[in-house]
Each structure stands twice: as structure tokens, then as C-alpha cells.
Amino acid sequence: MAVRPPSKSIAEYQAELKALGEEMYNHSLELVRLKRELEIANREQESLLHFISHEVKGYLTKSEAAFASITEGDYGHIPEKLKTMSWAALSEVRKGVATVMDILEATNFKKGTVAYAKKKFDLRAAIRDVVSQLEPTASEKGLSIELSIGEGEFLFEGDEDKLKRHVIRNLIDNAIKYTPRGVVKVVLTDGSVIRFIVEDNGIGITPEDMKNLFTEGGHGKESIKTNVHSTGYGLYIAKKIIEAHGGRIWAESDGDGKGSVFFVEFPTA
Amino acid sequence: MDKLTQIASKIIKEQELVIGPLAWSEARKVQGLRVDSQKGEVNISNGDPKATVDRLVAQYERLFGRASHQVCREAAASLVAGLSLAEIPLSLRA
């Protein structure tokens, strides 16, 4: 078979190669510049979000104090109707404060400005405390909470406030929100690792929603229908806090309508 | 570290953002320059440091064209600002 002579000279091939190299460089440079612009835009957006959240929190906190004063009778006896309205308003404002706090906390995580006050505390007592706070909400829905956490003290070193609010409370509260009827099981086990488990027989998690479960603003397509006020930051914050304690979190579900199990695992000291 | 070594180091690290580890392997080919990509260290050996920086800029430009030359200028801009005209390598003069 005859070999065809090259259609171009070596110099022409070299020129083509150089042009390709330059083109690749220019594309890569464009990407670097876009990345920088994106980083600046992200920083500005985070800063704005933080500022707005902080301002809104200030207004909500003032409203919260005002409604609390009315409800607690600081202005003397008030008609029953007003008292009921005031309670409802206080409850809504508190939800608003909690939402804004979640957003603030998430921006703090992104900025890396979260500090942890770690000390030894009784993990069992913390779980019991959260469960007793949430039991009335569960009862209102006709749900029961089954606690299986053992007896006595269970000392754990960590930031008690953050773990209680963002991990224990968040997971049990979610289980209540996303379970129309039935049982929420709360389990604590120890051994080579410490495991905190929250299981429900609620709406479950679709494989598609599972992918975004612990991401920032990661709403599930189905879960948002049940909890329209979800900020999508709860599990993101929980994951960050758990990781800061050397632990991990994951969820299992057989899918839509088949309940969920959330696992939190910490290494033993 | 003297100014010209700082300039060479800044240029290599800026090029690394665009072309990755290739920035270091190309810098290694430049006469008068000693680089350690693992430690991120750059040294200019005896000779003419200005000419070494010029060779470094030319090395990138030969492969990647004028855009890479501009990247070198931008990378060195803040350091060049503190030098007199005579101290600035030709390739980095305005």
C-alpha cells in the first residue's frame, strides 16, 4: 500500500499546534476569570444575605418581645380573644426567628465563622429534653415518640447547644413534620461508635430528593409540599455541625411514602 | 527573597491557575531558574535575574501566545510597581 505524503509541512503542523495551545490557554484563562468573578459575586451575596437576615432578625426579635409581653400579662388583663391571637402571633414570630437564625447560621458556616463551645454534657439528658419539648407538637398530630436511649448519664464532648438545636431537635422535628400519623422512634446506641437514630413512617425520601438532602438549600420536591416553610438549610447545618464533631450523618428510605431513617454517628473518645 | 525572585514565583503560580502543573514543568526548562513544584519554591541562580524573568515570560508566550504574556504582566503588576524602570525586566515594562 502506498503511503501518502503529508499534506502539510512540519512548520504548518507546528503552527497549528501552537494555535491550538493558545486556544486552549485562552479557554482556560476565561474559566479562571469567570471563577474569580463568581467567587466575588458569591462573597457579596453571602454578605448581603447575612446583613438582611441580621436586620430582619432584629425586627422579629422586637416583635417577639412585644407579643410575649402582651401574652404574659405585662400590660394587665387582656381579653381572651386577644390572648389567643397574641399566642398565635408569638408562635409565628418565633418560627420566623428560627428561620432567619437558620439562614444566618448557614451563611456563617459558608464564611467559616462558626465557633464551637465544646464541653462534656449528658447526651441522654439532651435527647430527653428535646423530646419533652417536642412531645406536645407530636401529640397534636396524633403521633407518638418512642424513646430507646438507655438509662443513666451518657457523657459526650461537644457543643451541647448546637447539637441539641441543629441536630437532635432538627431530626426529631423533621420526623414529626413529615409523618402524618404513626410513630417516631428515637434511638441512642453506643459501642465502637455512638449512634443517634431517628426513624419515622412518614412521607419518605425519593432517590432524587436523597441526592440533595444535606446540601445548602436542598429542598426535596416532595418534602416542600408537606413543609412549605422549610428553608432547606436545616440538614445542611446539621451535617456541618456533626462533621465538626468528627461524625457523619446519612439517611435511608425505601422511597416515597415509605418512611425514613436518619443516622448520626460519632466516634467514641 | 528578592523582588525578581518574588516576581518569577508569582508568575509561575498565576500560570499554574490557568494551565496547572505544566506551569512548573515549563518553568523548570528556563535557564537560570530553579523550581521545586512540591514545595512551591522558586530560586534564581547567579546571572542576570532580569533576563531570567524575561526568559520565563517568553517560555510561556512561546507555547500559549500573547494572552499568557498578559497574565505574566498582571501577576507581576503589584511587585513591579515598587521598582525603578531600569530594574524592571523588559518583558514586564508597560
pLDDT > 90 in chain B, percent: 94
What is the structure's pLDDT at A134? Answer: 93
Largest CA distance in chain B: 33
3-class DSSP state of A119 = strand
Quick check: A33 contacting B, CB < 8 Å?
no
Answer whether B19 sits within 8 Å of A28, measured CB to CB. yes
Query: Are B72 and B10 contacting, i.e. CB atoms less than 8 angstroms apart?
Result: no
Q: Which residues of B touch A26 (CB under 8 A)?
A: 65, 67
ipTM, 2 dp: 0.87
Answer whether B65 sits within 8 Å of A29, measured CB to CB. no
Q: How many Cα atoms sit within 13 Å of A267 on the Cβ side?
A: 5
3-class DSSP state of A251 = strand
Q: What is the DSSP letter of A59?
A: H
Domain ranges of chain B: 3-89
d(Cα A167, Cα A127) in Å, to the nearest integer? 10
- Directed axis angle between helix B3-19 and helix B49-64, to 10°? 10
Query: Are A140 and A181 contacting, i.e. CB atoms less than 8 angstroms apart?
Result: no
Residue in A with minimal Cα distance to B20: A28
- Directed axis angle between helix A170-177 and helix A234-244, to 10°? 150
Which helix (DSSP H) or strand (DSSP E) does residue A49 occupy?
Answer: helix A10-71
Answer whether B18 sits within 8 Å of A29, measured CB to CB. yes
d(Cα B87, Cα B93) in Å, to the nearest integer? 10
Quick check: B64 contacting A, CB < 8 Å?
yes
What is the structure's pLDDT at A265? Answer: 95
Answer whether A25 sits within 8 Å of B17, measured CB to CB. no
Quick check: A32 contacting B, CB < 8 Å?
yes
Cα torsion angle, A4, A5, A8, A13, sign: positive
Q: Class of the A119-267 domain?
A: alpha beta
In a structure prediction context, what are the per-residue pLDDT tens digits for chain A, which is 269 residues long?
677 777 888 889 888 988 999 999 999 999 999 999 999 998 888 888 888 888 888 888 899 999 899 888 888 888 889 888 888 898 888 888 888 888 888 888 877 888 899 999 999 999 999 999 999 989 988 999 999 998 877 889 999 999 999 999 999 999 999 998 899 999 999 888 899 999 999 999 998 889 889 988 766 666 666 666 666 788 999 999 999 999 999 999 998 889 999 999 998 86
Global pTM? 0.61
Residue B1 pLDDT greater than 80, yes or no: no
CA neighbor of A148 nearest in space, from A114, A180, A187, A113: A187
Answer whether A29 sits within 8 Å of B63, measured CB to CB. no
Bridge pairing between strands A182-189 and A193-200: antiparallel
Quick check: B47 contacting A, CB < 8 Å?
no
**Where do we find the cell 515549563?**
B26
What is the structure's pLDDT at A75? Answer: 86
Distances (CA, A) of A38 to A41, A180, B12, B67: 5, 42, 23, 21
Mean pLDDT of B20-30: 96
d(Cα B80, Cα B72) in Å, to the nearest integer? 11
Q: Which residues of A touch B17 (CB under 8 A)?
A: 32
For B5-23, what is each residue's pLDDT tens digit?
A: 999 999 999 999 999 999 9
Residue B51 pLDDT greater than 90, yes or no: yes
Q: Which residues of A touch B22 (CB under 8 A)?
A: none
> Who's near B58: CB < 8 A, 6+ residues apart?
B91
Residue B45 pLDDT greater than 90, yes or no: no
Phi, psi (rounded to 5 degrees) for B86 = -65, -25
3-class DSSP state of A20 = helix
What is the structure's pLDDT at A224? Answer: 65
Strands (E), chain A: 119-122, 143-148, 155-158, 182-189, 193-200, 248-252, 260-267
Residue B89 pLDDT greater than 80, yes or no: yes
Q: What is the DSSP letter of B20?
A: T
Answer whether B65 sits within 8 Å of A25, measured CB to CB. yes
User: Other C-beta atoms within 10 Å of A257: how many?
Assistant: 13
d(Cα B62, Cα B66) in Å, to the nearest integer? 9
